[in-house]
Structures are given as C-alpha cells and as structure tokens.
C-alpha cells in the first residue's frame, strides 16, 4: 500500500533544494511532506561568492570570518576568505571600464590606466600572500574593545596575481620628497554621503616599493570575489590588511603621512608605549600599526575533537610573519610547560603562510588543550597569553588553542 503520509515532491523543488545544499539529496524522494532539511535550517545568511559556513559578525557593513577548521587548505579557497568591509561595496562593476588614477603632490605626473593597460603594460606576477585584519583576535581583549569581535578567522592566504605597485609608481614618477602612498576605493560610506570615504589608508613609500607589494586582479587564478575588492585591489603582505585597499580607483603619492579616513585618531593605531589594560591613551601617544606580529593557527582538528587514548592525534595548521620566514613551530599539551617540535614547510615567498604538522600523544584520558607557537627568523615568538592591551583591540597574536578530549 502507498504510504500516504509521504507526498510526491516535485523534481524541480528537489533540484533547487539540492542546489542550496550544494549536493545531491540521495533519498530526496522519501522526504516527508512539509519537513525542513536539517542541513538547510543550519545555514546562516549568504553573501555573493561566499560560503554559508562563514561566521557573520555584522551584515552592514559586511564582516564575516572563517572558522579555524575551515582554514585547513594550503591556500584559502576564495569562498572561504574573510570579508572586512567598512562601507558599502560598489555595484554594477564593469572591469572593461575600470580605471586607476595615480596622482598626489609627490607624483611626477598624473596618469590613469585602464585595467587592460595595467595587465598588458607591466610585468604580471603572482605571490602567495597572507592577509590578516589588524583586529583579528579582538574578542579576547579585556576590558573589551569596541568593533567587530573577530575570533581567529580574519585571516587567509591566497595566490594573488597582478602587477608590482612599484612598477606602476615608477612609470608615473616618484618625487624625492615622497613619504607615503594613500588609496581610494569605489565603495561608499555607510551614511551614503558622497563626500565621505569608507576608508582611505596607505603605507610608507618604502613598503609600497617592496617587490611583493602589488596591485592585484586575481585571487587563486580567478577574478577577485566582489566582496574582496573586484576587479582591482592593493595587496601588502605583513601589514594590517586595512592597508590593502579594495575596489581600487586611485592611489596618491604623498609628501606627508596619508591623512585619509581611518588613518587618524585611534584607528589602526596602538599606544606607542605599553599601557595598563583599560587605560585612556591620548591621540598623540598612539602610533600607526606597521608590521604585524608573528602568529599561527591550528586548522586541524576542529576544537572539541575527541580521540581514543591508544591513538595519535594528527594536528595541522599555518604560521605567518612579517619577517622573512617562520623558522620554528611548536605545540604544547600541558598549558605551555613543555613544547614539542612540529614539522614545518618552507615559505613559498615572503608573506606566504607556512604549514605545520605533528602527531600528538596523550599520557592519559581527560581534557587537554593543544597550543601552537610560531617563532620567526628574527626570534620573534608568540605570547602564551594575551599581549599588550590597547584601546581598539589590535594585534592579538596569543597562541591559538584547541580543546581535545581523550577517551
């Protein structure tokens, strides 16, 4: 007899459900009428080109981060790369009509390049470069810092393709009094006001002229996703990602430190000298963040994993630094009393994150934390606990920790 509790679900509906889930529903024809798929009810809101598995911190402006266990790939897939917007992204982008202006008081000329001219007039290059938001890890600060409560996921490393910023700046000509560059993007201020920029930051001229500093149009050999700055963005390894301007329309060569939106006050600045947690710091005692600190992330397993006592636990992750390379990677299972070595890969190029692996043995059943600690070639290493408190909660490079239960 026909089970009349089940009604026939139309093939077209099944197909659209399968698309939303991203895979075929194997026994789809048996789904009881009116029942919601668990897999769909668990999903969060979706953004163009971004996985539904990312964590949404804010949707206006869009700020979404990547859970640590989804950063296990050697190069972060485009749909898993975090998004940090300060304003509203541009719409109706036509890459064929996109242009980039270079000007400013320390530019020897004013030039405007179409995207196609950039691609054909300058040497095309690719580097694997880690971008990390200066506020990554902010959630841990106490007293708490206002702003997006990033946990560990405002970071990713991808293959960027584009041209060297220095080649383009040299083509325009750099006057001898140049000290800084600033960027302007096509996004708009949250208020909608055309007179205000969402963000307009920059870097010292020496940083702009580094061989890895680039103007990029591709991420992992594909167009940069809309939310990550399509069709053109700056990429500066080792500096807070806020310097890497998205939807890039204009670069100014400045004879002074760039004074655009979010360059002043306490934005992307930390106290020039350490202060007590919660202290009030005067603006003149705040310094612009330049090099980011050494850091690492355990991307496998997911925190909370269980394992049997007779098994070894494989762990894996990445480490990055603004220095030349990471030279030592260690882990601890006893809250930092003893450290054991991980295997560590070589760096593809400066600013690419490096991968580590180890097999962990546990002495008895119970709760453990696995901590990871990176050290770079200059001897910089990660603190076990939260580093210097600062009013805006930047530069938290404390060791990443995951919980493991041994059964």
Ligand X SMILES: Nc1nc2c(c(=O)[nH]1)N[C@H]1C(S)=C(S)[C@@H](COP(=O)(O)O)O[C@H]1N2
Residue 13 structure tokens: 């509906």
The interface mask with Mo ion, positions 222-261, x = CB under 5 A, is --------------------x-------------------
190/199 Cα distance (integer angstroms): 11
Among Mo ion, ligand X, none, residue 246 binds (CB under 5-8 Å by kind): ligand X
Residue 388 structure tokens: 């210097």
> Running DSSP on this structure, what letter comes out for residue 24?
-
Among Mo ion, ligand X, none, residue 198 binds (CB under 5-8 Å by kind): ligand X
> Running DSSP on this structure, what letter comes out for residue 292?
P
* Interface of this chain with ligand X, residues 171 to 230, rule: CB under 6 A: 185, 187, 198-199, 228-229
Among Mo ion, ligand X, none, residue 370 binds (CB under 5-8 Å by kind): none
Residue 63 Cβ, how far from ligand X at the closest point, in Å?
8
254/102 Cα distance (integer angstroms): 11
314/308 Cα distance (integer angstroms): 13
Residue 241 Cβ, how far from Mo ion at the closest point, in Å?
5
> Is 241 an interacting residue with respect to ligand X (CB under 6 A)?
yes
> Is 288 an interacting residue with respect to Mo ion (CB under 5 A)?
no
225 or 388: CB nearest ligand X: 225
Among ligand X, Mo ion, none, residue 313 binds (CB under 5-8 Å by kind): none
57/144 Cα distance (integer angstroms): 16
Residue nearest ligand X (C-beta atom):
185
Neighbours of 209 (CB within 10 A): 18
Residue 375 Cβ, how far from ligand X at the closest point, in Å?
25
> Is 289 an interacting residue with respect to ligand X (CB under 6 A)?
no
Among Mo ion, ligand X, none, residue 352 binds (CB under 5-8 Å by kind): none
Tokens 């306490």 identify what position? 266
Residue 262 Cβ, how far from ligand X at the closest point, in Å?
8
* Interface of this chain with Mo ion, residues 56 to 95, rule: CB under 5 A: 84
Tokens 């009810």 identify what position? 41
83 or 169: CB nearest ligand X: 83
CB 373 within 8 A of CB 149: no
> Is 288 an interacting residue with respect to ligand X (CB under 6 A)?
no
Of these, 51, 66, 78, 86, which contacts ligand X (CB under 6 A)?
86
230/215 Cα distance (integer angstroms): 12
> Is 133 an interacting residue with respect to Mo ion (CB under 5 A)?
yes
Among ligand X, Mo ion, none, residue 86 binds (CB under 5-8 Å by kind): ligand X
46 or 121: CB nearest ligand X: 46
One-character DSSP codes across 216-283: EEEETTEEPPGGGTTT-EEE-TTS-GGGS-SSEEEEEEESS----TTSSTTTTEEESS---TT----G
28 or 49: CB nearest ligand X: 49
CA 260 to chain centre: 22
Residues 6+ positions from 219 with CB-CB distance below 8 Å:
78, 81, 158, 159, 160, 161, 225, 228
Residues of this chain that bind ligand X (CB under 6 A): 81-87, 131, 133, 185, 187, 198-199, 228-229, 241-242, 244-247
Q: Kindly list the residues in this chain that would bind Mo ion in the complex (CB under 5 A).
A: 84, 133, 242
């Amino acid at each position: 007899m026909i089970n009349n509790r089940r009604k026939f679900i139309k093939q077209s509906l099944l197909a659209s459900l399968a698309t939303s889930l991203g895979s075929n529903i194997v026994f789809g024809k048996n789904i009881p009428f009116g029942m919601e798929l668990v897999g769909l009810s668990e999903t969060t809101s979706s953004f163009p080109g971004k996985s539904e598995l990312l964590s949404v911190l804010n949707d206006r402006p869009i700020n979404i981060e990547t859970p640590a266990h989804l950063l296990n790939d050697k190069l972060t897939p485009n749909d898993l790369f975090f998004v940090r917007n300060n304003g509203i992204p541009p719409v109706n982008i036509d890459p064929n009509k996109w242009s980039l202006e270079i000007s400013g008081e320390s530019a020897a000329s004013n030039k405007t390049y179409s995207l196609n001219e950039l691609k054909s007039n300058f040497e095309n290059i690719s580097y694997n470069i880690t971008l990390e938001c200066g506020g990554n890890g902010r959630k841990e600060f106490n007293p708490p810092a206002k702003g997006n409560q990033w946990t560990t996921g405002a970071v990713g490393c991808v293959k960027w393709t584009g041209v060297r910023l220095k080649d383009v700046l040299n083509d325009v000509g750099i006057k001898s009094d140049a000290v800084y560059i600033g960027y302007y993007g096509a996004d708009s201020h949250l208020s909608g006001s055309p007179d205000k920029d969402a963000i307009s930051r920059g870097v010292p001229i020496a940083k702009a002229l580094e061989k890895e500093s680039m103007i990029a149009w591709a991420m992992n050999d594909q167009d940069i996703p809309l939310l990550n700055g399509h069709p053109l963005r700056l990429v500066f390894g080792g500096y807070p990602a806020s310097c890497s301007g998205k939807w890039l329309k204009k670069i100014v060569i400045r004879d002074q430190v760039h004074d655009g939106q979010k360059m002043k006050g306490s934005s992307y600045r930390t106290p020039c000298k350490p202060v007590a947690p919660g202290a009030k710091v005067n603006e003149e005692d705040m310094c612009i963040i330049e090099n980011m600190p050494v850091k690492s992330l355990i991307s496998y397993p997911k925190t909370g994993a269980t394992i049997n006592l007779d098994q070894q636990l494989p762990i894996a992750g990445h480490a990055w630094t603004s220095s030349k390379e990471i030279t030592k990677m260690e882990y601890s299972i006893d809250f930092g009393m003893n450290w054991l070595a991980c295997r560590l890969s070589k760096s593809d190029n400066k600013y690419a994150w490096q991968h580590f692996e180890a097999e962990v043995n546990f002495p008895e059943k119970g709760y453990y934390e696995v901590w990871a600690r990176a050290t770079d070639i200059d001897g910089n290493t990660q603190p076990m606990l939260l580093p210097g408190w600062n009013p805006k909660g930047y530069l938290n490079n404390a060791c990443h920790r995951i919980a493991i239960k041994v059964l």
